[in-house]
Amino acid sequence: MTQQQWMSLLGLANRARKLISGEELVVKEVRSGKAKLVLLASDASKNTEKKISDKCAYYQVPLKRVENRSLLGQAIGKEARVVVAILDEGFAQKLRTLLD
C-alpha cells in the first residue's frame, strides 16, 4: 500500500468531517460506538498506546498503526497527531484495506 493513498483518503475523510483526532475525543467515540476504525501513530507514548489499544480491544474497534505522528497530522492538514478515529464505515473499510 502506498503512503500517499491512505494519507489522501484520510484527508478526504477529514474534509467530510468523518474523523476526529486527539486521545480524549477518540476514546469517547470508541466508547460511544461511533468509531469504526482507530489509527495510532507508531511513535505514540507507551501510556497512550496502551490506553488506546485496550479501549479498542474492549469495544472491538479495529486498530491500525501508521508510521508516525507527523504523517498522521500531515494527512489531515494539522499538527502532529498521535491518534485519529474514523467515524464512517465506508472510509474505515477502505482505510483498513489500504493499511493491511
* DSSP secondary structure of 30-86: HHHT--SEEEEETTS-HHHHHHHHHHHHHTT--EEEES-HHHHHHHTTSS--SEEEE
Sorting pLDDT into bands at 50, 70 and 90, what band is 89? very high
CATH number for 3-99: choose from 3.30.1330.30, 3.40.50.300, 1.20.1630.10, 3.30.1450.10: 3.30.1330.30
Q: Is the pTM above the cut of 0.75? A: yes
The stretch 36-48 carries a mean pLDDT of: 97
* pLDDT tens-place string over residues 49-78: 999 999 999 999 999 999 999 999 999 999
